[in-house]
Amino acid sequence: MNTGAVKPKSLGELIKHYRQMNSEIADQYTEIEHKPEVIYSILQTELGTLEHPSLIPEIAAKFLELSNGMEGVKELCRVTDSIDDTAIQLAVYNLIIDYSRSHGMMPYIAKGLYRKYMIERNDFSKLKETYQLGKCALDYVQFLSDKERIIFYYSIGVHADSLMNYDDSVPYMKYVVENDNSEDGAYRANAYLSLCNSSYNTGDYRASQVYLNEYSKYSFSYVADNVHFMSACIDGKMGNVDSSISKLRSYLQNTSEYNLIYAVAELLDQYLQKKDFHSAKKLLVYEEQMVKSLEDMRTTPFKRALLARFYKNMGDILYHEDMDKSLEYYKKSVLEYAGIGQYDNSLHSLSYIFQAIAKGVIVDKETLKELDSAIKSVGQLLWSRSAYLVEMASRCSWEVAR
């Protein structure tokens, strides 16, 4: 629809503009501002053309004001689901949530919070914040449809798993396993894999194997690959280290960039268990690929924690062989752990750097400068946790200035 050069700045101006452009509307509605069906028509036109996107929330608000309560909200939800622009979607869903709360419309509070959460959880830079939004939506989950509940519980379960909140994730995924009655059972299958992972990451390897066995019964194309990887991991934890190493080496030959970091981290753990430091060091060939894989927008804190652990382990391996490289990996570990809020692990890696400083084994001023910069970049939150670390950090700066 071509509306010329006019750029309405308010709903009132837009309505006047529609009157001028559409004589049929002008003839039919002398008081257009008070006709919900006409406001709805304008809303549909704007959603189709996006000529005035900033006005869409105002048009939607006007429609709700004039419409017949529940039916108006229902219709607005329906049309909002079809919007491709997520910013506009969020603005309208916020409007729906506020309106539904003020009018006691519980199903639409639930619908609005559910849809808002499903959109915002895709911003992986704000996983912690959006997880809290999901937990708020839990209070209204009984008002969702059966299918929406399955999708919601699975989504928040994956979210919790990504944040390493395994105790939260397990009950969400158990709900999916018990209630997904869909024909293909895709959510149920993936919930079993999530339960397998959560059990594995909390040290319950027998439960992890039980869930993996259930998962292996499904015929989806991706199941065999995941079973191959997880069975290798569980083998190692159950004492079958040689079998685990063999499976992981095989898996690494064909793994995707997304899964690379999982395979390398697990294989490194198995090498360390066997004290096979020679083979462990060979895994450094994957470092650049692992770092690159974190550029994926789906990267979670858990994946970053695996890279941080890889760095810390490499620091340990190289400590008595190449101090400069060892400290470089400890430094990387400090920064990766701090970047995802795992401050205790960050401090643990940092303590190795301070031990080297205290022993006077670092003599290269450039190395000291780099370490000093890394320590300061972690921020005051780390420093304030230990007077000892503050003292060591000060000593590092003093060594640089000496």
The answer to whether 200 and 164 are in contact (CB under 8 A) is: no
Instruction: Quote the CA–CA distance of 270 and 366 in Å, as a whole number.
Output: 35
> Per residue in 307-357, pLDDT tens?
999 999 999 999 989 988 999 999 999 989 888 888 888 888 988 888 887
- pLDDT in the model for residue 11: 57
Instruction: Quote the CA–CA distance of 187 and 172 in Å, as a whole number.
Output: 12
Give how far the C-alpha of residue 14 lies from the chain's centroid of Cα atoms, to the nearest Å.
Answer: 39
3-state secondary structure of 231: helix
Asked if the model's pLDDT at residue 89 lies above 90, the reply is: yes
> Where does residue 191 rank: exposed (0-12), middle (13-18), buried (19+ CB within 10 A)?
buried
Residue 29 phi/psi, 5-degree rounding, is: -125, 105
Cα–Cα–Cα angle for 277, 281, 282, rounded to 5 degrees: 120
Q: Which of 187, 189, 188, 210 is nearest to 199 (CA)?
A: 210
Q: What is the pTM of this model?
A: 0.79
> What are the counts of helices (DSSP H) followed by strands (DSSP E) for the chain?
23, 0
Q: Which residue has the higher pLDDT, 360 or 96?
A: 96
Q: Which of 161, 157, 159, 204 is nearest to 176 (CA)?
A: 157
The answer to whether 24 and 37 are in contact (CB under 8 A) is: no
> Per residue in 167-188, pLDDT tens?
999 999 999 999 999 999 999 9
Structure tokens at 221: 């194309």
Instruction: Quote the CA–CA distance of 253 and 4 in Å, as a whole number.
Output: 59
- Cα torsion at 271, 274, 278, 283 (round to 10°)? 0
Asked if the model's pLDDT at residue 360 lies above 80, the reply is: no
49-63, 183-197, 263-277: which range is least confident on average? 49-63
3-state secondary structure of 173: helix
Instruction: Quote the CA–CA distance of 257 and 338 in Å, as a whole number.
Output: 24
Question: Which 8-state DSSP code applies to residue 83?
Answer: -
Instruction: Quote the CA–CA distance of 20 and 279 in Å, as a whole number.
Output: 77
- pLDDT in the model for residue 351: 86
- pLDDT in the model for residue 27: 45
Structure tokens at 379: 């921020």
Asked if the model's pLDDT at residue 4 lies above 80, the reply is: no
Confidence category of residue 1, pLDDT binned at 50, 70, 90 = very low
Instruction: Quote the CA–CA distance of 268 and 223 in Å, as a whole number.
Output: 24
Confidence category of residue 29, pLDDT binned at 50, 70, 90 = very low
- pLDDT in the model for residue 283: 97
Residue 369: other Cβ atoms inside 10 A: 14
Instruction: Quote the CA–CA distance of 143 and 73 in Å, as a whole number.
Output: 15
49-58, 155-164, 359-368: which range is least confident on average? 359-368
Instruction: Quote the CA–CA distance of 325 and 110 in Å, as a whole number.
Output: 53
Confidence category of residue 257, pLDDT binned at 50, 70, 90 = confident
Instruction: Quote the CA–CA distance of 181 and 157 in Å, as a whole number.
Output: 18
